[in-house]
Structure 1
Amino acid sequence: MKLENMYETLRNIHGPQGKWWPGSEEEIIVSAVLTQNTNWKNVEKALENIKKDCKNNILHCLAKMSTQQISFLIKPAGFFNIKAQRLKNLLTWLKNYDFDLEKIKTKNIEEIRKELLSIKGIGKETADSIILYALELPIFVIDAYTKRLLNRLLGIKLKEYDQYRLLFETTYPKDVALYREFHGLIVEHAKMFCRTKPLCELCPIDSCRYKNAKD
């Protein structure tokens, strides 16, 4: 398999994923922080707590809360004190734009990304997730699953996050819907077959280098 065929191969196996990341733009921004070092079920519990307290305008509502109040609401997501502070830092940045995501979208992607990465606690994966899924701008999200699949399927192992990102962005057209679905397909495949201990005997990708190396 070549990287050029990876999207089509995964889509044929798992079917269309669509947007993949659930929730409104505001919920995605919050969940991008909450999902760090935890599973999605825990994120959902934390989001439910937030939505009970914040009926409308989640970002405005959270911005008015203390770090301690946020910490209590997001407790199910784990590392709640750290994540509460990260959320507060992110909310301070959003407040500069009056929480108007359309204002942020008028800037170019690199400028938005630079600002997000200057926020304490916001790393590249979180920043890119916000840009792609909440701001709906074309940037490819790289996570541990992506690195695993590239290594096992194609024998590609790079040093830097942005090397992986640019590899996808120079191979595939810059398209929000494509990047969203592709990222979703990678995660689905990694969870279903290409786990830490892979289920190679069940995986339908016969050209996998890792699988063939084990034969």
Structure 2
Amino acid sequence: MTREPLSAKPGGMLPTGPDRVSNSEGIQARLIAIYNRLYNYFGPRHWWPADTSFEVIVGAILTQNVAWKNVEQAIANLKAAGLLDPEAMYRATTAELEPHIRPAGYFRTKAKKLKAFVEHLWKRYNGSLTAMFSRPLAELRPEILAIYGIGPETADAILCYAGNYPIMVMDAYTRRVFSRLGFFDEKITYQGMQEFFMANLPQDQYLYNEYHALIDGLANQLCRKNRPDCSKCPLGDICPRLGVNL
């Protein structure tokens, strides 16, 4: 089943300097065309997979530097132990969290990160995610980034997938796919990528949510770092890597 194609709207200013990208006309239309191809190929990705907003947050922290299947096991362990709840995690010690999240790797450090988040949630919002997510995006993002162990990718995953804010998550997969497509250099910064996408796409939380998930699906399954399977790629015929431009 295909989704009604998105329509292009006027884009915004593009990054300059080290994060300079192609200034070709119709760049937003190209991005939307790629989105529609990926959506028609993969279908909706149903990302982030979780039962609650707090589970999304825990998953975003635990998935740092580890495969998602390992995170799923850690989350299942926390759920079975009754710890996949903001108050329960707040009252638990890091030592009590550690054995449950061991499958996610770096379990001692990640236990500290989880505790740092829930302690901030309790200190600032009396444990209420609803209160936290009522804050304006421009104020909440730097606040979350100030919490121990949370960088831009984790913060934006929390904001987009748990808080439903219109912000698009970037990662190494995004850099790989879109540098290969010729939109920007492979050394572009996280901020440069994010500014590029958000300046040239409609401000739509659903679109940012789904686009990131589709990019990750493509990079994980086909546009791999080594030995990419270009013959099956829904963008293969428009990829400069194969000598063709969109």
**Aligned-pair CA distance for 1:123:** 0.2
2:99 to 72, 93, 109: 72
In the alignment, the residues of structure 2 paired with residue 109 and residue 87 of structure 1 have an alpha-carbon distance, to the nearest angstrom, of 21
After TM superposition, the score normalised by the length of structure 2 is 0.81
Partner of 1:199: 229
**Aligned-pair CA distance for 1:13:** 1.7
Aligned residue identity for 1:196: K
2:148 to 117, 120, 128: 120
Partner of 1:164: 193
Q: What are the ranges of 5 or more consecutive residues in structure 2 without an aligned counterpart?
A: 1-26
Partner of 1:9: 37
2:215 to 186, 190, 211: 186
Cα RMSD (Å): 1.6
SS at match of 1:154: coil
SS at match of 1:201: helix
Decide which structure has greater helix share: 1
Asked whether the equivalents of residues 50 and 73 of structure 1 are also in contact (C-alpha less than 8 Å), the reply is yes
In the alignment, the residues of structure 2 paired with residue 161 and residue 110 of structure 1 have an alpha-carbon distance, to the nearest angstrom, of 17
2:206 to 177, 191, 195: 177
1:208 to 235, 239, 243: 239
- Identical columns (%): 39
Partner of 2:160: 132
Partner of 2:171: 143
In the alignment, the residues of structure 2 paired with residue 49 and residue 89 of structure 1 have an alpha-carbon distance, to the nearest angstrom, of 20
Q: What are the ranges of 5 or more consecutive residues in structure 1 without an aligned counterpart?
A: none
Asked whether the equivalents of residues 155 and 209 of structure 1 are also in contact (C-alpha less than 8 Å), the reply is no
In the alignment, the residues of structure 1 paired with residue 198 and residue 174 of structure 2 have an alpha-carbon distance, to the nearest angstrom, of 14
**Aligned-pair CA distance for 1:186:** 0.5
In the alignment, the residues of structure 2 paired with residue 114 and residue 155 of structure 1 have an alpha-carbon distance, to the nearest angstrom, of 28
Q: Deviations over 1:121-160 (max 9, x none)?
A: 1000000000000011110000111111110113412532
In the alignment, the residues of structure 1 paired with residue 241 and residue 172 of structure 2 have an alpha-carbon distance, to the nearest angstrom, of 17
**Aligned-pair CA distance for 1:36:** 0.5
In the alignment, the residues of structure 2 paired with residue 100 and residue 175 of structure 1 have an alpha-carbon distance, to the nearest angstrom, of 25
Asked whether the equivalents of residues 46 and 74 of structure 1 are also in contact (C-alpha less than 8 Å), the reply is yes
**Aligned-pair CA distance for 1:45:** 0.6
In the alignment, the residues of structure 2 paired with residue 212 and residue 14 of structure 1 have an alpha-carbon distance, to the nearest angstrom, of 24
**Aligned-pair CA distance for 1:175:** 1.4
> Does 1:46 find its partner at 2:46?
no
Asked whether the equivalents of residues 3 and 154 of structure 1 are also in contact (C-alpha less than 8 Å), the reply is no
In the alignment, the residues of structure 1 paired with residue 134 and residue 90 of structure 2 have an alpha-carbon distance, to the nearest angstrom, of 23
Q: Which has the larger radius of gyration?
A: 2
After TM superposition, the score normalised by the length of structure 1 is 0.92
In the alignment, the residues of structure 2 paired with residue 7 and residue 61 of structure 1 have an alpha-carbon distance, to the nearest angstrom, of 40
**Aligned-pair CA distance for 1:104:** 1.4
Q: Deviations over 1:155-177 (max 9, x none)?
A: 41253211111111111112121
In the alignment, the residues of structure 2 paired with residue 33 and residue 169 of structure 1 have an alpha-carbon distance, to the nearest angstrom, of 23
In the alignment, the residues of structure 2 paired with residue 160 and residue 110 of structure 1 have an alpha-carbon distance, to the nearest angstrom, of 20
In the alignment, the residues of structure 1 paired with residue 220 and residue 131 of structure 2 have an alpha-carbon distance, to the nearest angstrom, of 36
Q: How many residues matched?
A: 211
Partner of 2:7: none
